[in-house]
Amino acid sequence: MAEIIHSVKSFSAQKISQRRGVKGTIWQDERYDRIVRDEVEFLEKWQYIRNNPVKETLAAFPEEYPWLYERGS
């Protein structure tokens, strides 16, 4: 698992830096993994993830971020 995460982080960090025209750290060194215990916790984590592009000024709203996928109701 650690090798896969490292590979994804390395590749995506290079592409993000190229697109944004910046250099520097993209990802934190550590990873956070644990079992999501219930739907409330899942929704909390999902909101955190979907709001990351907004926090980084990549989109004004999560729905405007082109790589966000949410299945319609």
In a domain, 29, yes or no: no
pLDDT digits (tens, 9 = 90+) for 1-47: 778 888 988 999 899 999 889 888 888 777 677 789 999 999 999 99
The answer to whether residue 23 sits within a structural domain is: no
The verdict on residue 22 lying in a domain is no
CB distance 49 to 55 below 8 Å: no
The model's pTM is: 0.58
Looking at the predicted structure, is the pLDDT value of residue 73 above 70?
A: no
Structural domain boundaries enclosing 44? 36-73
* Measured distance CA(33)–CA(41) in Å, rounded: 13
Indicate whether 27 belongs to any domain: no
> In total, how many domains does the chain have?
1
Q: Which of 36, 42, 14, 40 is nearest to 27 (CA)?
A: 14
